[in-house]
Amino acid sequence: MGDPRGTGRTRRLPAARTCVLAAGAALALVALGGDPAAAEVEAYTVHINEVVRRLTRVGQSIAVSFAVLFTVVAGLRWILAGGEPGEIDKSKRAFAGAGMGYLVAFSGEVILLALDYVNGYDA
């Protein structure tokens, strides 16, 4: 099967990707022993939940840090704009970027709480 655009590249078949994924899943099942005890599964689930929670906290901290930085820079730009419309517009866009940073940080927390509720995990 050649590329219809004539670039000389060939398309990869989705079936090959599916076979590789199925083989990987089978290998993982064999490596885990096939049938772990229910207590072990619960321990792994709690551990994974804690890892995801901590990674989310780190991501939120980074997002809020950048949002604060953008807020400060936008405020300084606005103060130093001297009434020039182009500079004021740039500072307004920086404020919008800061708002998006805050939105990402707080929506991450809401999504994490919703997933904990669905999963039945109490931290």
Looking at the fold, whether 46 and 56 belong to one and the same domain comes out as: yes
Looking at the fold, whether 31 and 73 belong to one and the same domain comes out as: no
pLDDT at 119: 73
Looking at the fold, whether 98 and 46 belong to one and the same domain comes out as: yes
pLDDT at 116: 77
Looking at the fold, whether 49 and 108 belong to one and the same domain comes out as: yes
C-alpha span between 60 and 37 (Å, rounded): 35
Residues 6+ apart with CB under 8 A from 46: 121
pLDDT at 11: 54
Could you list the residue range(s) of the whole structural domain that residue 26 is in? 1-35
Report whether 47 contacts 57 (CB < 8 A).
Answer: no
Looking at the fold, whether 27 and 65 belong to one and the same domain comes out as: no
Q: How far is CA 14 from CA 8, 17, 22, 73, in A?
A: 19, 5, 12, 48
Looking at the fold, whether 91 and 111 belong to one and the same domain comes out as: yes
Looking at the fold, whether 31 and 42 belong to one and the same domain comes out as: no
pLDDT at 95: 92
Name the 3-class secondary structure at 10: strand
Closest CA to 74 of 102, 43, 47, 46: 102
pLDDT at 92: 92
Looking at the fold, whether 98 and 48 belong to one and the same domain comes out as: yes
Looking at the fold, whether 43 and 89 belong to one and the same domain comes out as: yes
Per-residue confidence of the chain (123 residues) as pLDDT tens digits?
555 555 555 555 465 555 555 555 554 554 555 555 555 555 666 677 788 888 888 888 888 888 899 899 999 999 999 889 999 999 999 999 899 888 888 888 888 888 778 877 665
Looking at the fold, whether 24 and 43 belong to one and the same domain comes out as: no
What's the total number of domains in the chain? 2
